[in-house]
A and B are shown apart, each in its own frame.
Chain A
Amino acid sequence: ILNVEQSPQSLHVQEGDSTNFTCSFPSSNFYALHWYRWETAKSPEALFVMTLNGDEKKKGRISATLNTKEGYSYLYIKGSQPEDSATYLCAFNAGNNRKLIWGLGTSLAVNP
Chain B
Amino acid sequence: GAVVSQHPSRVICKSGTSVKIECRSLDFQATTMFWYRQFPKKSLMLMATSNEGSKATYEQGVEKDKFLINHASLTLSTLTVTSAHPEDSSFYICSTGRIKQNTEAFFGQGTRLTVV
Contacts and interface: CB of A to CB of B under 8 A. Distances in A.
Contacts of A32: 102
A102 interface: yes
Interface residues of B, number: 23
A14 to B, nearest CB: 26
Given A100-B46, A102-B43, A43 B99 contact: no
Contacts of A42: 109
Interface of A: 4, 31-32, 34, 36, 41-46, 49, 51, 89, 91, 93, 98-100, 102-105
B104 A46 contact: yes
Contacts of B100: 98
Given A93-B99, A93-B102, A104 B43 contact: yes
Contacts of B106: 43, 46
A4 B102 contact: no
